[in-house]
A and B are shown apart, each in its own frame.
Chain A
């Protein structure tokens, strides 16, 4: 692996520190590593592989550093190395006294080129490997477009192309991003983009267009769009569609399509299945999982639901709201409380149920919860924050409503 670290070393505290850091990280990831830093890629390559103690080759020091290394360190073809060794030229330093013209004539131009690269006489550019989103469609337009209809048409064209590719690969996309470039796009301006996500892999152009269509109006075309790029950064395997005989698989599919449509308008975290989670705190005892999570069915049978003997409200007030309370006896439920301007006289009450955050969570005092019912029969869940202290007035909150 070759890295161009020109101008980067000071960020790590010098080349030696950079090298040490890199080695340590790779070793932690389970690789056996040797690394060297030098002026030229060829010298670094040679030092890393052949130097008895690979390390930093000082600037301009490659001739000296490479001299004791075997000629194989020059990245030469096998037969050239054998030929050199046959005439007794085993080390790079042995090549120095031999005239260049003789070497080139005897062993080919390759040897001269490799020598020049190693000593820095010949530039050797690195071509970096850039991540390329493999699923991308581009549409460059000779005439800029700006009407909503033409933008939609262009998007549909791109979606069609992408879906054909996905179908050939038996894949479906989970995320789709459309980036548009305006004619007045400058080097510093950020292109506009819209994105959609789906709950399961999709490659149906009509369904994708429905999802994307609602977002296209957010694009401000300005003087016109000249380039549209459609990318699917997240793809997953999707078996070729087969028309069902009974329509059973249709059922799950159209629920998935519905949930995608809703999530794209309401927000991705707005559609949840609420499942039990091990925690004493009521607001933490429920976890939201994606509604089409496959593991749910198995879970709900094995894992117990919430305990039956602890009644819980059907609605929570998020966040809990402070209430004014008349509670004459410590650790007794309140007799009267005031919330949002209305006074409620308590008829019946249960409690306290003391709930506390798990010890490994910081913050949050313990709470004493009471179920109280006012004279009209409205049932509330209220709590006092912290232990009862005679000297300080306790903070009371309303946290939920029972059925």
Chain B
């Protein structure tokens, strides 16, 4: 039985639920502006997955700041690279600029990345053999407003490095994605959001043999001004999509359980 007192009280005070929501939204935006030192954000990029975009502040991934993206396997970086490629391609396309991707070797394979929308005209690949060079190059590149985003793979980053990257990203409105091996540290970081991507068995159509669509468990561990969450995503018809829930319920529950273990560990 619905509780009649809530709406009635609101109506008595002359404020409907919808109006309340608007007021709350305004207050939240004000808090965000205060936290950003009075500056307006650089806009957001919607991932195209409603559940995730609703969890993120302002309905999308904030641009012009630092995001950390980890995998769970330090040697198999495929899943994180695929998710990052999808994000970078989206950011590059909505700004009409290129992205720079800095790695330690010559391992980026353009033929595979192009399948995630990161085509050669959008991607400049850079190789930095030393971690110090990679961080330096990221910071330099982030200050260049002609780039949409800069992704960099480093073995480890500390608070100072993340702060410097975040400031550089803010100064030119370029988005930084720091790719870390393994789960991101529990330690402090200046990153706006922190994600992990874990590969999951691929999604096959019923009865289809072999390997199907790439599927990952994407977890938002931390998000400034937003909530955290975990989703099962797949790469379907050239876009990120939530995996069909009916089939994946088990996995989502599993993901939630894993997460709670992580939180209280």
**A residues in contact (CB < 8 Å) with B:** 251-252, 254-255, 258-259, 261-262, 265-267, 270-276, 282, 285-286, 288, 291, 296-297, 300, 305-306, 308, 311-318, 340, 347-350, 371-373, 375-380, 400-403
Contacts and interface: CB of A to CB of B under 8 A. Distances in A.
Given A286-B111, A403-B79, A276 B124 contact: no
A379 B214 contact: yes
Q: Is the contact region of chain B dominated by helix, strand, or loop, or is it mixed? A: mixed
Contacts of B75: 340
Interface residues of B, number: 56
A251 B115 contact: no
B128 A270 contact: yes
Nearest to B114: A305
A53 B164 CA distance: 79
Contact of A315 (B77, B120, B121, B126): B77
Contacts of B98: 255
A349 B211 contact: yes
A375 B128 CA distance: 33
27 contacts: A262-B140, A265-B136, A266-B126, A266-B133, A273-B123, A273-B124, A273-B125, A274-B108, A296-B121, A300-B121, A305-B114, A312-B112, A315-B81, A316-B106, A318-B107, A350-B210, A350-B211, A376-B199, A377-B200, A378-B79, A379-B202, A400-B78, A401-B76, A402-B211, A403-B112, A403-B216, A403-B235
B119 interface: yes
A315 B115 contact: no
Interface stretch (B16-24, B46-54, B144-152): B144-152
A378 B147 contact: no
A262 B143 CA distance: 13
B181 interface: no
Contact of A266 (B115, B127, B198, B211): B127
A291 B215 CA distance: 32
Q: Most chain-B Cβ atoms within 10 A of its Cβ — which of A271, A348, A377? A: A377
A146 to B, nearest CB: 28
A262 B83 contact: no
A313 B165 CA distance: 29
A314 B110 CA distance: 7
B254 to A, nearest CB: 12
B113 interface: yes
Contacts of A252: 146
Q: Most chain-A Cβ atoms within 10 A of its Cβ — which of B125, B128, B215? A: B125
A178 to B, nearest CB: 23
B72 to A, nearest CB: 9
Interface string B200-214: 111010000111101
Contacts of A254: 144-146
Interface of B: 73, 75-79, 81-83, 85, 98, 105-116, 119-121, 123-129, 133, 136-137, 140-141, 144-147, 198-202, 204, 209-212, 214-216, 235
B144 A379 contact: no
A379 B203 CA distance: 12
Contacts of B85: 314, 403
Contact of B215 (A275, A371, A377, A400): A377
A265 B235 CA distance: 37
Contacts of A275: 110, 120
Contacts of A285: 111
A177 B204 CA distance: 59
Contact of A314 (B112, B128, B129, B202): B112
Q: Is the contact region of chain A dominated by helix, strand, or loop, or is it mixed? A: mixed
A139 B5 CA distance: 89
Contacts of A266: 126-129, 133, 137
A288 B141 CA distance: 20
Contact of B110 (A255, A258, A274, A373): A274
B201 A308 contact: no
Contact of B82 (A288, A318, A349, A403): A403
A291 B76 CA distance: 28
A316 B105 CA distance: 10
Contact of B78 (A270, A272, A282, A315): A315
Contacts of B82: 314, 402-403
A276 B120 contact: yes
Contacts of A288: 125
A267 B129 CA distance: 10
B140 to A, nearest CB: 6
4 pairs of A and B residues whose beta carbons are closest in the complex = A403-B82, A401-B78, A274-B110, A314-B112
Given A258-B144, A377-B215, A315 B107 contact: yes
A292 B63 CA distance: 25
A400 B210 contact: no
Contacts of A272: 124-126
A12 B75 CA distance: 59
Given A272-B126, A378-B199, A403-B81, 7 more contacts: A274-B110, A306-B110, A312-B112, A312-B115, A348-B204, A380-B76, A403-B83
Contacts of B107: 315-318
Nearest to A255: B146
Contact of B108 (A276, A315, A378): A315
B137 A262 contact: yes
A337 to B, nearest CB: 13
Q: Most chain-A Cβ atoms within 10 A of its Cβ — which of B111, B115, B147, B215? A: B111
Contacts of A372: 211
